[in-house]
């Protein structure tokens, strides 16, 4: 990696590390909100929560918590290691990072990583184009969902939240494009099974 990029990354990493932080509380939809969310999906099949949030004017994490359990699975941030281990096996996912009105999309493998022995960061390896430093200890919830689009395809993704409303980031396996091969769909099913084996974060998950 370019020396100047490494120096810049080290500077930003140090600045974030000094800010510290502590986990917030997860957002869980009320029964009334759950009904509103399900009414929305009955007319807007396959819409990911990151887009539904703008249309419903609800926090994205709240919407994710209200997706029916037969299409989604959720757990707390404590399940990060188990979830991350599965998505690193996906062949060609797309990482989605939304900041304000802007959205970054990075197509490529998810790197493995490990927790630092010096601080609370989970450091991603430099084996792929995507790399960085994460704070799973601040994640309040993790939701994976397979939302039927009504055209034989489904939106399959997993998103990570920190209690502030919007997602921290997400990893998408499929959406508007072609359906992934069975070998990849099996990996997504594995992710759902792993999350469902962990403690649920909201009554609907």
Question: pLDDT for 75-84, tens place per residue?
Answer: 999 999 999 9
Distance between alpha carbon 183 and the CA centroid of its chain, in Å?
A: 21
Q: What percentage of residues in the chain have a pLDDT greater than 70? A: 88
**Alpha-carbon span 133 to 121, nearest angstrom:** 6
- DSSP secondary structure string for all residues of 44-101: STT--HHHHHHHHTS-HHHHHHTS-TTTEEEE-GGGHHHHHHHHTT-SS-EEEEEETT
Query: Could you give the 3-state DSSP secondary structure of residue 6?
Result: helix
Question: pLDDT for 109-159, tens place per residue?
Answer: 999 999 999 999 999 999 998 999 999 999 999 999 999 988 888 999 999
pLDDT confidence of 1, banded at 50, 70, 90?
Answer: low
Strands (E), the chain: 72-75, 94-99, 102-107, 113-115, 122-124, 133-134, 141-148, 154-161, 167-174
């Amino acid at each position: 990696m370019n020396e100047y990029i490494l120096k810049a990354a080290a500077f930003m990493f140090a600045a974030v590390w000094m800010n510290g932080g502590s986990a917030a509380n997860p957002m869980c939809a009320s029964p009334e909100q759950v009904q509103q969310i399900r009414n929305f999906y009955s007319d807007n099949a396959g819409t990911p929560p990151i887009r539904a949030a703008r249309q419903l004017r609800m926090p994205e994490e709240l919407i994710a918590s209200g997706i029916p359990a037969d299409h989604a699975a959720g757990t707390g941030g404590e399940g990060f290691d188990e979830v991350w281990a599965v998505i690193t096996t996906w062949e060609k996912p797309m990482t989605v990072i939304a900041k304000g009105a802007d959205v970054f999309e990075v197509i490529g493998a998810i790197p493995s990583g490990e927790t630092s022995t010096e601080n609370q960061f989970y450091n991603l390896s430099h084996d792929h184009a995507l790399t960085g430093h994460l704070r799973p200890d601040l994640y309040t919830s993790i939701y994976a969902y397979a939302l039927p689009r009504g055209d034989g395809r489904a939106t399959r993704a997993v998103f990570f939240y920190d209690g502030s409303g919007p997602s921290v980031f997400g990893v998408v396996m499929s959406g508007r494009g072609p359906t992934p091969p069975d070998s990849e769909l099996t990996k997504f099913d594995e992710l759902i099974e792993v999350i469902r084996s962990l403690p649920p974060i909201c009554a609907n998950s």
